[in-house]
Amino acid sequence: MGYSQSRTALPLDKEIIALRRAFHTCPELGMDNPATAEIIIRNLRGIGIEDIKTGLGGGTGISAVIQGAQEGMCLALRADTDGLPVFEETGLPFASVNGNAHACGHDAHMAMLLGAARQLVENRRQLCGSIKLIFQPGEEIGIGAKKLVAAGVLEDPHVDAIAGQHTGSLFDGISSGEIGYFADRFGFCVTRLDAVFHGRAGHTSRQHEAVDAILIACHAVTQLQTVMSRERKCDSPAVISIGTINGGVKNNIIADTCAVAGTIRSKDPAEQRFYEERTEKIFRSVADSFRGTCDVAFPFRLDSTPIDPQMLEIFKSSAAKVVGDAKIKPVTAVSAVGDDFSEYCLDRPGLYWFHGSAPEADPIYPHHHPKFDIDEKPLGDGARLLAQFAIDWLQKGGEK
C-alpha cells in the first residue's frame, strides 16, 4: 500500500517540471553553484523544512533533515546539482544562455528530490525515523561527494544508508517511464590519468643531441593499447582512453615535455588497480627505453557503486507500488559511466537505480551532448518513487 497524498499527482508533476526548468536555465559548474543553491533552499523552506545546512564541502553543498513522527533509522537521499561546460543547442524556451548546460539530467534529479521532500513532509506520520536530503555539487568533476563526506554530511544525524537515482537515456532497454535496477554494482570504476613525459630539447638538425618527448608519448600511448587487447579478461568490460596529448612549442624544436591525459574504466575495483599499475609501468618503462622519464599521476579515483541486496528487495516492492511490476526491469546493457555516489557507500549500504526518461525524438542525443534533453512526463513518478522507497525502507530497513 502506497503512502497517502494530500495533493493530487497532477499538481505535483507540474511543480516538478517547473522546478526542473528553473534549474535548467542556470547551470553552474564544479563546487560553486550559488544560483542553484538559492532555488533549493527557497523551496525547502517553502515546504516547511527548517533543519538545513549550507556551504558544505567548501562549496554550495546542502543537507536538510525531515524528522518523522517516530524514532528510527536515518536514510539519505542524494541529488547532484552541477552542470557541464557545454554550450546548449536544444532550442528549448528555457534553455541556458550562460554557456553551460544541464546536459546530464542533474536539473531533473534536484527537481525530483524536492518533489519527494514535499511528499515526505506531508507524510511525516508514516516516517519511522528521519530522511536526510543531500544536494551535492561537483559530481561532474568527481570530487563533490568526497568533499561532503569529509565535511560530515553522513553524520548529525548519523546516516544508516543512502539512495539515489539517475535519469535519462544511459541504458538501452529502459524506456521513458520505466525503472532500471542493478543487481550487484552500478557504473564503472573511473580513474583519471595524467602523465608528463620528459626528454631533452634540441634543434631538429641535431636530433642526436635531443630526446624527443613527443615520440616517447606516442610510443607509450600505442603500447598502452595492448593492455586492453592482451591483458583484459575477455568477459570483463574495461576501457583505457587517452583524451588529450600536448607537447612542443615550434615545428623545428624537439620537445622536451609532452603531457597526456585520459581515463581508465572497469567494473571491478581489483581489476581497476591492475590497469592503473600496468599503465604506470608501461609509461615509465617506455620513457626509460628512449632515455627519458615519465611522471604519472591519478588525480582522482572512483569505485563502482555496490548495491545493497536488502535495499534492492525493498526498492522493487516500492517501485511496484508507484509504476507497476511491468515497468521495473534489470539493467543488462553495459555502459562505462561513473558517478561519485560511490563515495557515500564506502562504509554505508547504498542503492542506486536508473530512471528512464529518454525523449520521443530521433535521434536521441546522448548525455553530455549540446542537444541532450529528457522526457519530463515521468519526473513525477521519479519523485514518488524516492518518497515511497524512503517510507518503506525506514519501516523495514532495521529488520535484519
Cell 600536448 locates to: 246
- Range 189-301 classified under CATH 3.30.70.360: yes
Beta bridge partners, 326, equal none
Residue 9's pLDDT band, with cuts at 50, 70 and 90, is low
- Statement: residue 399 has pLDDT above 90: no
Q: Which class for 198: exposed (0-12), middle (13-18), buried (19 or more C-beta within 10 A)?
A: middle
Q: What is the pLDDT of residues 50-81, one digit of tens each?
A: 999 999 999 999 999 999 999 999 999 999 99
114-131 pLDDT, tens digit each: 999 999 999 999 999 999
Query: Which residues of the chain form CATH 3.30.70.360?
Result: 189-301
User: By three-state DSSP, how is residue 186 classified?
Assistant: strand
pLDDT value, residue 325 = 97
Q: Is 318 helix (H, G, I), strand (E, B) or coil?
A: helix
Q: What is the pTM of this model?
A: 0.91
Question: Which CATH number applies to 9-187+304-396?
Answer: 3.40.630.10
Handedness of CA 196, 199, 202, 206 (dihedral sign): negative
Task: Reply yes or no: is the peptide bond before residue 157 cis, omega within 30 of 0.
Answer: yes
DSSP-derived letter for residue 228 is: I
Give the model's pLDDT for residue 400: 47
Asked whether residue 103 carries a pLDDT value surpassing 60, the answer given is yes
Helix-strand-coil split of the chain, %, nearest 5: 35, 25, 40
Cβ partners under 8 Å of residue 353, min gap 6: 163, 165, 166, 179, 180, 181, 182, 186, 315, 319
Q: Which residue has the cell 591492475?
A: 274
* Mean of all residue pLDDT scores within the chain: 95
Nearest-5° angle of CA 386, CA 323, CA 68? Answer: 30
CA distance 270 to 361: 40
Query: CATH 3.40.630.10: which residues of the chain?
Result: 9-187+304-396
137 in Cβ contact with 80 (< 8 Å): yes
